Chains A and B, each alone.
Chain A
């Protein structure tokens, strides 16, 4: 299958970005250097093209019930203008994907817009339609991924930067995990105070054909998926397909450290399995760790006890540009999961010491 390209593809090529295949999309991975891009976001601001993220719109009398029954969180409890992070689970409570849901304003054509991960848009739309039909619900599910571009402006200066391109009081009016429509650089955008970097900032969803207008107006450090990965890892945020994977590394929200997205008082696919696990407690969970010996943990490296017993696997790892330390995520048995516990990561067959740290590695500036 040919790779899908974001509407800004030619603009990125002209800016001399390097590209990578991510979830079936050819996306910019680096514009200048990952370190430069990363530091800009932590210190001032940076802009990311995240048009590889899916956009599905759900509308109709039963839209709320459909969303509620297919995500782990309490959708009925949201009000228009709210953003809600949730997991999508199967009957076993295993995470198929994680997603951000936006409860759209009452006067909007659609009721909900939610954002599956790269390449999961169509399979998720099909899942929604299949369950809708099975449950006899009245709702339409539209895959708008190719109609929309999505850009993220992140960093301490990001709100001010976006606010400068609109006449509307978005910085004052849009609190964390909230969104509204606003005209940015002359383009009507869905503007949400959400992100994937651990910093303040906005994510903008807008018509694909207007992407270049908005991208050009927001004249700030261009950032690729490389910096997006180091930023999210420092913030302890999960990467779908890597920190959980329905086939290769099936995990529940409780194991993956996102139990806060699960509302057991709602009815949803996977609820009963998760209720049982909640009652019994998890056997393994995701931990963050820092290397205390030289070496960089990478996806797939074994995690061992100091005695050499293999107890888990690294799911993500990198050299943290902000901390100057090598950090990683991985699943270990709960008895090895407390902060301060000594672990060993086997790096090219050599044992290298690490220590469990509480997540996130880096606290967001408030």
Chain B
């Protein structure tokens, strides 16, 4: 099975993606991650204004069968969360890189050290 890995993002080994958007960084989980989890039924996210440390758990995504922590790709302040997911967690399955996004951060540093699409693809092969 092949998974969607958009070229315009950077990735974490723990299957989060990051996308730079006009000074903020949007974070979600990858197509591979949502497929591994199965039907997503619950998402727990931080509050706007929370300060996250890089690599710290910032939330939880649960499918019917599994509970999985979400990890911050980079430190920074949470500037937005996708509250739509509280009532429609299935968006994480349906559109992991779009409407299934999770948080936006005012990032403390650069994303250059994260995995490139090619590196992430190698990891999940």
Using a CB–CB cutoff of 8 Å, the interface residues on chain A facing chain B are: 16, 29-30, 33-35, 226, 229-230, 294-296, 298, 318-319, 321, 326, 348
Contacts and interface: CB of A to CB of B under 8 A. Distances in A.
B67 A298 contact: yes
A213 B63 CA distance: 34
B48 to A, nearest CB: 18
A318 B64 contact: yes
A28 to B, nearest CB: 13
A30 B39 CA distance: 11
A326 B44 CA distance: 15
A294 B86 CA distance: 9
B60 A34 contact: no
Contacts of B63: 34
Contacts of A294: 42, 86
B64 A319 contact: yes
A33 B39 contact: yes
A348 B42 contact: no
Nearest to B60: A348
Contacts of B72: none
B46 interface: no
A366 B87 CA distance: 33
Nearest to A348: B60
Given A294-B86, A296-B62, A348-B60, A35 B39 contact: yes
A327 B99 CA distance: 27
B117 interface: no
A319 B86 CA distance: 14
Query: Majority SS of interface residues in chain A?
Result: mixed
B74 interface: no
Contacts of B62: 296, 319
Given A294-B42, A296-B41, A296-B42, A34 B64 contact: yes
A318 B38 CA distance: 13
A16 B67 CA distance: 23
A231 B86 CA distance: 24
B65 interface: yes
Nearest to B86: A294
Nearest to A321: B64
A33 B86 contact: no
Interface in B16-61: 38-39, 41-42, 44, 60
Contacts of A321: 39, 64
Given A33-B39, A34-B39, A35-B39, A226 B60 contact: no
Nearest to A38: B64
Nearest to A227: B64
20 contacts: A16-B1, A33-B38, A34-B38, A34-B39, A34-B63, A34-B64, A34-B65, A226-B64, A226-B65, A229-B65, A230-B64, A294-B42, A294-B86, A295-B42, A296-B42, A318-B64, A319-B41, A319-B42, A348-B44, A348-B60
Contacts of B39: 33-35, 321
A122 B106 CA distance: 59
Nearest to B90: A35
Contacts of A230: 64
Interface string B83-97: 000100000000000
Interface hub of A226, A319, A321 (most chain B Cβ within 10 A): A319
A124 B42 CA distance: 39
Interface hub of B1, B41, B42, B44 (most chain A Cβ within 10 A): B41
A299 to B, nearest CB: 11
Nearest to A36: B39
Contacts of A29: 65
A348 B65 CA distance: 17
A191 B110 CA distance: 64
Nearest to A350: B44
Given A34-B64, A321-B64, 6 more contacts: A35-B39, A226-B64, A296-B67, A318-B64, A319-B42, A326-B42
Nearest to A295: B42
Interface hub of B1, B60, B62, B65 (most chain A Cβ within 10 A): B65
Contacts of A326: 42
